[in-house]
Structure 1
Amino acid sequence: MSDLPLSDLPFYLGAFILVLGVLVVVHEFGHFVAARLCGVKILRFCAGFGPIIWSRRYGPDQTEWSLSLLPLGGYVRMLDEREGEVSAHELHRAYNRQSVGRRSIIVVAGPLANFLLAILIYWGLFWHGSEELRPVLGPPVAESPAARAGIANGDRVLRVDGEAVQTWQDFQWLLLHKATQQNSVELELQPLGGGRVFRHLALGSLAEQGWEKDAFASLGLRFYRPAILPVVGGIQAGSPGAAARLQAGDIFVAIDQKPIATWDEVVEAIRQSPGQAMMFDMLRGANRFQVQITPQVIEEQGLRIGRIGVSVAEASLEGQPEIKGFVRYGCLDAALRAVRETWDKSVFSLVMFGKMLTGEASWKNLSGPVTIADYAGQSARLGLDYYLKFMALVSISLGILNLLPIPVLDGGHLMYHALEVIKGGPLSERVMAWGQQIGLTLLFTLMAFAFFNDLSRLLGPLLNG
Structure 2
Amino acid sequence: MLAFLWSLGAFIIALGILVAVHEWGHFYVARKCGVQVERFSIGFGKPIWRKLSKSGTEYVIAMIPLGGYVRMLDGRIDDVPPHLADKAFNNKPVLQRMAVIAAGPGVNFIFAFFALWLMYLVGLQTVKPVVKSVEPDSIAEMAGMQNGDEIIKIGSRATPDWEAVNFELVSNIGDEKAQVTVKNSAGVEKELTFTLTSWNFDPDSESPLSSLGLTPFRPDPTLEVGFVGEGSAAQQAGLKIGDTLIAMNGNKLSSWNGLVDVVVDSPGERVALEIERDGQTQILHATIARRDTPQGQSGYLGVSPTFEPWPEGYVFTHQYGIIEAIGRALDKTWRLMTLSVDMIGKLITGDVSVKNLNGPISIAQGAGTSAEYGLAYFLSFLALISVNLGIINLLPLPMLDGGHLMFFTVEWITGKPVPEAVQEWGYRIGGVLLFMIMGIAIFNDIARIT
* Shared fold, TM over 0.5: yes
Query: In the alignment, residue 213 of structure 2 is paired with which amino acid?
Result: G
For 1:447, what is the secondary structure of its paired residue? helix
Residues 226 and 68 of structure 1: CA distance in aligned 2, closer, same or farther (over 3 Å): closer
2:192 aligns to what? 200
In the aligned structure 2, how far is the partner of 1:305 from the partner of 1:110?
51
374, 382, 393: which one aligns with 2:373: 382
Distance in 1, matches of 2:160 and 2:366, equals: 25
User: Take 1:349 and 1:267, find their aligned partners in 2: how far apart are those partners?
Assistant: 43
Unaligned runs of at least 5 residues, structure 2: 238-243, 268-274, 276-287
The aligned amino acid for 1:70 is I
Aligned-residue offset at 1:394: 1.0
SS in 1 for 2:320: coil
Equivalent-residue separation in structure 2 for 1:353 and 1:303 (angstroms): 35
Within a 5 Å distance, the mapping from 1:5-404 to structure 2 comes to: 6-59=1-54, 61-161=55-155, 163-179=157-173, 183-191=177-185, 194-202=186-194, 204=196, 208-209=200-201, 213-226=206-219, 238=233, 248-250=245-247, 263=255, 266=258, 309=301, 320-404=311-395
> 1:159, 1:188 within 8 Å by CA — same for their partners in 2?
yes
> 1:178, 1:185 within 8 Å by CA — same for their partners in 2?
no
Q: What are the Cα deviations for residues 199-256 of structure 1, in whole angstroms up to 9, with x where unaligned?
A: 5151516754477752112112222034678x687998857xx9xxxx93359xx99x
Aligned length: 431
Give the structure 1 partner of residue 416 of structure 2: 425
Match of 2:434 among 420, 428, 443: 443
2: CA distance, partners of 1:315 / 1:377 = 25
CA deviation after TM superposition for structure 1 residue 372, in Å: 1.1
Does the residue aligned with 2:246 lie in a helix, a strand or coil? coil
Say if 1:100 and 1:417, in contact at 8 Å, map to a contact too.
yes
Q: Is this contact kept in 2: 1:179–1:203, CA < 8 A?
A: no
When normalised by structure 2's length, the TM-score is: 0.82
Range moving further from structure 2, 42-51 or 115-124: 42-51
Aligned counterparts of 1:147 and 1:20: Cα–Cα separation in 2: 42
In the alignment, which residue of structure 2 is the partner of 1:413?
404
Take 1:33 and 1:67, find their aligned partners in 2: how far apart are those partners?
A: 18
Post-superposition Cα deviations, 1:277-311, rounded to whole Å, max 9, x if no partner, equal xxxxxxx9xxxxxxxxxx987678x8879667497
Q: CA deviation at 1:67?
A: 2.1
Q: Tell which deviates more after alignment, 31-40 or 159-168.
A: 159-168
**Cα distance in structure 2, aligned partners of 1:149 and 1:297:** 42
When residues 234 and 19 of structure 1 are mapped into structure 2, their CA distance, relative to the original with a 3 A threshold, is: closer
Closer, same or farther in 2 for the Cα pair 1:305/1:138, shift >3 Å?
Answer: farther
User: Partners of 2:297 and 2:178 in 1: how far apart?
Assistant: 32
TM-score by length of 1: 0.79
Determine the C-alpha separation between the residues in 1 that align with 2:426 and 2:11.
31
Q: Which amino acid aligns with 1:108?
A: A
Match of 2:425 in 1: 434
Unaligned stretches of 5+ in structure 1?
A: 1-5, 277-283, 285-294, 460-465
Counterpart secondary structure, 2:133: coil
Counterpart-to-counterpart distance in 2, 1:414 and 1:264:
58
